Amino acid sequence: MALVELRNVSKIYHLGGEEIRALDDVSLDIDEGEFISIIGPSGSGKSTLMHILGCLDSPSHGSIRLDGTMIQSATTRQLATIRNRKIGFVFQFFNLLPKLSVLQNVELPMVYSGISGRQRRERAMAALEQVDMANRCKHRPSQLSGGQQQRTAIARALVNNPRIIFADEPTGNLDTHTGEAILDLFRHLSTEGRTIVLVTHDPEIAAVTPRRIEIRDGKIAEKLDLTLAGLSPKGARVPHEAGGAETQGS
Amino acid sequence: MQLLNTIVAGFKEIWAHKARSLLTMLGIVLGVASLVGMSALIKGMENGMKESMIAMGGADKVLIREEDVPPDQEHLADQAPGRTMYDVIGLRESAPLLRLVSPEMRVNGAMITRGDKATWPSECVGVWPAVLEMNLHTMGHGRFFSDIDEEEARAVCVIGTGIRDELFGSPEEVGHEIIPIGETIQIRGQPFTIVGMLTHYESEEERREREARANAPKQEQAGPQRRRGWGRGNWAFWRKNTTVYMPLNTSYIRFRAAGDRDGIPDWRLSDIDIKVRDMGVLEPALQQARNVMMVSHRGIEDFTFQTQENNLDQINTQIRNTRISGGTIAGISLLVGGIGIMNIMLASINERIREIGIRKAVGASGFAIFSQVLVESLVIALLGAAAGVVASYGMVWLLAHITPTGNLPVITPFALIVAVCFSAFVGVVAGLFPGLKAARLNPIEALRYE
Ligand SMILES: Nc1ncnc2c1ncn2[C@@H]1O[C@H](COP(=O)(O)OP(=O)(O)OP(=O)(O)O)[C@@H](O)[C@H]1O
Ligand SMILES: [Mg+2]
């Protein structure tokens, strides 16, 4: 059984009588330990897909199973718990709380899972070690560079030991060099066995991941964009069609 | 543990906006201070009234008053006997529901002199020893009258400290207390020996004032010593202190028998006070007394009973009215404070939409967000309440210093509890709506919010 199973998921927005299909009948499986990029042009529905996968949003139609739980029938409270325990988010704009220190920001998810203060500190420090930010734990986000802020956000996503990490354009706000460092970090985490879904519109970034899913107009594209062909690193684990685009029926 | 974190977070948030939180709290501070202060003032008033009531003989004292005969007995008005010893003896022997019967015979125009000093007592009356219990007197020095004093109508008297102050000098003036037992004074020109002196009666505030004066450095006085005028201090206590008692027979034989009323001996009493065995049997006891007196008055109803109940009722309604209006004002100001809190909480969550989105994304449930807002609102309200309690103590202290002769305001624990509970309630209610609003925020929209 896959870690995430998406079946015929649609997300429809209604804007003044007009129907916008942000996601249109998407089916998708993600296995444990996969490193996947979701790629597509702006407005194609990548973020929408990620939000639905990450239990931040619910689909208009279709079903999602995450780690054995049916998401579309879960209550908001259950969704909050799932986000807390099983999912880590990394955002384009870092989304750190400016009033809290780096350490407190990383502790935040554990506050909501009711972990004691001492244990929180230990685990947050361990996560900060992993992203090489332990020496800045007392700083405020505003005192950090973009790359440092993003690494803090990654530590926060890691700290509750989630089943899957979603990153929406994690390098979108960083210069090329810093962006590469962040990508290296993700790659490293992937080799440690973490499941990571990377949302991007940059084919070069998508090329880093063994499996790519291309989205166009809310649908998963039939064929992989030619520019991406052959860029796939060898030996990476690709469960379905090797390096191919996704077409999964239900 | 979770709750503790939430409370700590609430405090931090309040600390982060010190000025704003302080201004928000001000409403609650004023509300609590006015609630507690108001109830303290009322309590002080109540205490003062109760003191006066006790000074006048307590709530269970019933006065038998002389009254005009009813219309249907108008033709008998000339034969109205008035209150006499027949009534007193009849009541004592035949009205078992009465605990105490105290006759009083006033000596009219009783000027009391000693050497070149003179004074007019509030009352100079002939009494039975029952008067001590009737008017709640305590002997300070010497003794009360004996049966022999009564029987032989001896020229002895018991005075209050006010009379002593006027004729012998007050402790404040003299520097030590004069106990004039065995001294002779003139009542309407007749020499009387003082055999006893009552204790000094004063209200709580008068005591405080006296002590304050004793502690204050003595002021140089220019010109002649001025007399203390009428109406100084609490009337009920002043009246009680300027009492002169003599045996009942003494007052009759020495002042009334020789003809007070156009040469005819006047044996009518000026007052009969009674106390019933138990306030629970007040009605039947008064009926009994009435029956007895109807016999001794030959059916002419020229008397009436005046209980303290009417008085008490009046005092109680007055207190209740003040309490209601004061409570309403304080309640409104607390409500206004609550609206202020709600306003600030709404502004605060509007500022923090993105933060709420982030918290939700990392797994905060709606309830966690809701309780955080609620706790924050509650903490503001409770901090305000605490400050309000301190402020009300300050206010009471200030009032006590500004008007030392007024009734001392008394802060009751009940008022404090009510004020704090009400502010907590206001805080919770003020936090409900903003809290719900925050909890219902859609995480994605909140994250996208700029
Ligand atoms: N709340 C909303 N109401 C209406 N339409 C929406 C809403 N959110 C998204 N959409 C629409 O859904 C479509 C997909 O949006 P989405 O944010 O998923 O795109 P994206 O692929 O992430 O683009 P980008 O690369 O620019 O971030 C867009 O056409 C957008 O206009
Ligand atoms: Mg997007």
SS3 sequence of A28-93 = EEECCCCEEEEECCCCCCHHHHHHHHCCCCCCCEEEEEECCEECCCCCHHHHHHHHHHHEEEECCC
A105 CA distance to ligand 2 middle (Å): 23
Look at residues A153, A173, A201 and name the one whose alpha carbon lies nearest to residue A50: A201
Report how far residue B357's alpha carbon sits from residue B362's, in angstroms, rounded to the nearest whole number: 9
The two structure tokens encoding residue B32: 């609590």
Ligand 1 pocket, mutate which of A15, A48, A171, A219 (most atoms under 8 A from CB): A48
pLDDT more than 70, % of chain A = 88
Which pLDDT tens digit goes with each residue over B395-450?
A: 888 887 776 656 778 888 998 999 999 999 999 999 999 999 999 999 888 988 87
**Which whole number is the average pLDDT over A16-26?**
89
Nearest chain B residue to A104, by CA? B9
CA-to-CA separations, B69 to B82, B83, B256, B291, in angstroms, rounded:
11, 13, 25, 16
The alpha carbon of B8 is separated from its chain's Cα centroid by a whole number of angstroms, namely 45
Q: Are strands A35-39 and A18-30 parallel, antiparallel or unpaired?
A: unpaired
A169 CA distance to ligand 2 middle (Å): 7
Instruction: Give the nearest partner residue to A108 out of B354, B362, B367, using CB atoms.
Output: B362
First-last CA distance in chain B: 33
Q: Are B368 and A112 within 8 A, CB to CB? A: yes
- Chain A contact for B257, CB < 8 A? no
Q: Are B362 and A116 within 8 A, CB to CB? A: no
User: Could you tell me if the CB of A20 is within 6 A of ligand 1?
Assistant: yes
Pure H helices in chain A: 46-53, 76-86, 102-111, 117-130, 146-158, 176-191, 203-206
**Which whole number is the average pLDDT over A224-231?**
49
User: Taking 60 as the threshold, does the pLDDT of residue B1 lie above it?
Assistant: no
Residue-level pLDDT at B245: 93
Instruction: Specify burial of residue B433 (Cβ count, 10 A radius: 0-12, 13-18, 19+).
Output: middle
pLDDT-derived band at A237, boundaries 50, 70, 90: very low
**Which whole number is the average pLDDT over B47-58?**
76
Q: Which residues on B lie below 8 Å from A57 (Cβ)? A: 443-444
User: Could you tell me if the CB of A44 is within 6 A of ligand 1?
Assistant: yes
User: Taking 90 as the threshold, does the pLDDT of residue A239 lie above it?
Assistant: no
Report how far residue A212's alpha carbon sits from residue A151's, in angstroms, rounded to the nearest whole number: 23
- Cβ-based neighbours of B296, under 8 Å, separated by 6 or more: B81, B84, B86, B87, B90
pLDDT-derived band at B221, boundaries 50, 70, 90: low
- Cβ-based neighbours of B66, under 8 Å, separated by 6 or more: B82, B83, B302, B303
- Chain A contact for B364, CB < 8 A? yes
**Which whole number is the average pLDDT over B282-307?**
88
Residue-level pLDDT at A140: 92
Residue-level pLDDT at B223: 57
Q: Are B362 and A56 within 8 A, CB to CB? A: no
Residue-level pLDDT at A244: 42
Is A140:A148 a contact under the CB 8 Å cutoff? no
Which pLDDT tens digit goes with each residue over B232-284?
A: 556 778 888 899 999 999 988 888 876 656 777 888 888 899 888 887 888 88
Which pLDDT tens digit goes with each residue over B298-319?
A: 888 888 888 877 777 887 888 8
For chain B, the average pLDDT equals 85
- Chain A contact for B361, CB < 8 A? yes
pLDDT more than 90, % of chain A = 38
Q: Are B444 and A51 within 8 A, CB to CB? A: yes
Is B59:B275 a contact under the CB 8 Å cutoff? no
Residue-level pLDDT at A233: 44
Ligand 1 pocket, mutate which of A9, A15, A19, A20 (most atoms under 8 A from CB): A20
Which pLDDT tens digit goes with each residue over B117-137?
A: 889 998 899 999 888 888 888
Residue-level pLDDT at A223: 56
Tally: H helices and E strands in chain A: 7, 10
Which pLDDT tens digit goes with each residue over B72-104?
A: 888 887 888 888 888 889 998 988 988 889 999
Nearest atom, ligand 1, residue A199 CA: 22
Q: Which residues on A lie below 8 Å from B447 (Cβ)? A: 56, 91, 95
User: Taking 90 as the threshold, does the pLDDT of residue A205 lie above it?
Assistant: no
- Residue with the smallest CA separation from ligand 1 atom 7 is A13
Which pLDDT tens digit goes with each residue over A107-155?
A: 999 988 888 889 999 999 999 998 888 898 899 999 999 889 998 999 9
* Residues A120, A125, A128, A130, CA torsion sign: negative
User: Could you tell me if the CB of A201 is within 6 A of ligand 1?
Assistant: yes
Residue-level pLDDT at B405: 59
Is A35:A164 a contact under the CB 8 Å cutoff? no
**Amino acid (one-letter) located at A6:** L
* pTM for this predicted structure: 0.71
Nearest chain B residue to A162, by CA? B362
pLDDT-derived band at A241, boundaries 50, 70, 90: very low
Residue-level pLDDT at B216: 67
User: Taking 50 as the threshold, does the pLDDT of residue A240 lie above it?
Assistant: no
Give me the long-range contacts of A173-182 (CB less than 8 A, separation at least 24).
A173/A92, A173/A93, A173/A94, A173/A146, A174/A146, A174/A147, A174/A150, A175/A146, A178/A145, A178/A146, A178/A147, A178/A150, A179/A205, A181/A147, A182/A147, A182/A150, A182/A151, A182/A154
Which pLDDT tens digit goes with each residue over A179-193?
A: 888 899 899 999 998
pLDDT-derived band at A229, boundaries 50, 70, 90: very low
Of A51-60, A162-171, B214-223, B291-300, where does mean pLDDT reach its minimum? B214-223
- How many CB atoms sit inside 10 A of residue B216's CB? 8
Q: Are strands A164-168 and A195-200 parallel, antiparallel or unpaired?
A: parallel
Which pLDDT tens digit goes with each residue over A206-216?
A: 888 899 899 98
Q: Are A97 and B365 within 8 A, CB to CB? A: no
Among A52, A82, A84, A165, pick the best mutation site for testing chain B contact (most B Cβ within 10 A).
A84
Residue-level pLDDT at B231: 41
Which pLDDT tens digit goes with each residue over B203-218?
A: 777 777 777 777 766 6
Residue-level pLDDT at B259: 62
pLDDT higher for B158 or B319?
Answer: B158
pLDDT higher for B303 or A232?
Answer: B303
pLDDT-derived band at A9, boundaries 50, 70, 90: very high
- Cβ-based neighbours of B72, under 8 Å, separated by 6 or more: none
Residue-level pLDDT at B214: 72
Residue-level pLDDT at B157: 93
Look at residues B156, B269, B172 and name the one whose alpha carbon lies nearest to residue B213: B172
Report how far residue B424's alpha carbon sits from residue B7's, in angstroms, rounded to the nearest whole number: 14
The two structure tokens encoding residue B431: 């936090």
First-last CA distance in chain A: 14
Report how far residue B354's alpha carbon sits from residue A98's, in angstroms, rounded to the nearest whole number: 11
Residue-level pLDDT at B448: 85
Which pLDDT tens digit goes with each residue over B381-396?
A: 999 999 999 999 998 8
pLDDT higher for A248 or B426?
Answer: B426
User: Taking 90 as the threshold, does the pLDDT of residue A165 lie above it?
Assistant: yes
Report how far residue B10's alpha carbon sits from residue A92's, in angstroms, rounded to the nearest whole number: 29
- How many CB atoms sit inside 10 A of residue A119's CB? 11
